Structure 1
Amino acid sequence: MKQLQYFFGLMASLWFASCDSGVETERISPDNLVAVSSLISPQDSVVRVYVYQGKALDELARSDAAIISDAQVTIEEGGILHSLVFDAKTNSYSISNQEIKIAASKRYNLQVTTKPGLVLKAACIVPPNPDMLLIKGWQEGNDYVFNLDWPTLDKVTFFTFRFELTDVIFKPQLGASSGPSLGFITGSNLFNNKDRPNKLFESKISNAFRAEKVALKTTFYSLESNAFNYLKTKDDAYSWSANTSGLIPNLREPQPVFSNIQGGVGIFGAYNQAITVTSIK
Structure 2
Amino acid sequence: MKIGNFFVGLVSICLLSCQSGVEIERISAENLVAVSSLISPQDSIVKVYVYQGKALGSVVRSGEAVIKDAKVSIEDDSTVHSLPFDAKNNSYFIDNRTLKVRASKSYRLRVSLSTGVILKGNCTVPPNPDKVVVAGNKEGNDYAFSIQKPANNVSFFTFNFELKNIVFVPKLGASTGPYLGLLVGNALFDAKDFTVNSIENKVFNAYLAESVSLQTMLYSLDSHSYHYLKTKTEAYTWGANTSGLIPNLKEPKPLYSNIEGGVGIFGAYNQSKVISVIK
Task: Tell me if TM exceeds 0.5.
Answer: yes
Residue of structure 2 equivalent to 1:8: 8
- In structure 2, distance between residues paired with 1:108 and 1:24: 20
Please give the root-mean-square deviation of Cα atoms over the aligned residues, in Å.
1.6
Q: Is the 8 A contact 1:24 1:258 kept in 2?
A: yes
Residue of structure 1 equivalent to 2:173: 175
- In structure 2, distance between residues paired with 1:16 and 1:136: 42
1:82/1:264 CA distance change after superposition, 3 Å: same
Aligned residue runs from structure 1 range 264-279, under 5 A: 264-279=262-277
Residue of structure 2 equivalent to 1:149: 148
SS class of match (2:84): strand
- In structure 2, distance between residues paired with 1:276 and 1:77: 30
Deviation, structure 1 residue 245: 3.0
- In structure 2, distance between residues paired with 1:160 and 1:133: 12
Residue of structure 2 equivalent to 1:262: 260
Q: Is the 8 A contact 1:49 1:92 kept in 2?
A: yes
The 10-residue stretch of structure 1 (170-179 or 260-269) with the greater mean CA deviation from structure 2:
170-179
Aligned residue runs from structure 1 range 203-222, under 5 A: 203-222=201-220
How many pairs align?
278
Deviation, structure 1 residue 14: 2.4
SS class of match (1:131): coil
Aligned residue runs from structure 1 range 1-281, under 5 A: 1-18=1-18, 21=19, 24=22, 26-27=24-25, 28-152=27-151, 154-185=152-183, 189-198=187-196, 200-281=198-279
SS class of match (2:261): coil
Deviation, structure 1 residue 105: 0.4
Q: Is the 8 A contact 1:162 1:218 kept in 2?
A: yes
Deviation, structure 1 residue 248: 3.0
Q: Percent identity?
A: 54
Q: Is the 8 A contact 2:12 2:36 kept in 1?
A: no
- In structure 2, distance between residues paired with 1:22 and 1:263: 12
Structure 1 residue ranges (4+ consecutive) displaced by more than 4 angstroms after TM superposition: 21-25
Q: Is the 8 A contact 1:180 1:205 kept in 2?
A: yes
- In structure 2, distance between residues paired with 1:186 and 1:111: 36
Q: Is the 8 A contact 2:51 2:67 kept in 1?
A: yes
- In structure 2, distance between residues paired with 1:232 and 1:80: 32
- In structure 2, distance between residues paired with 1:9 and 1:70: 23
Deviation, structure 1 residue 55: 1.1
Q: Is the 8 A contact 1:17 1:266 kept in 2?
A: no
Q: Is the 8 A contact 2:158 2:220 kept in 1?
A: yes
Deviation, structure 1 residue 10: 3.0
Amino acid at match of 2:255: V
The 10-residue stretch of structure 1 (30-39 or 219-228) with the greater mean CA deviation from structure 2:
30-39
Q: Is the 8 A contact 2:72 2:83 kept in 1?
A: yes
Give unpaired runs (5+ residues) of structure 1.
Answer: none
The 10-residue stretch of structure 1 (72-81 or 242-251) with the greater mean CA deviation from structure 2:
242-251
Q: Is the 8 A contact 1:109 1:124 kept in 2?
A: yes
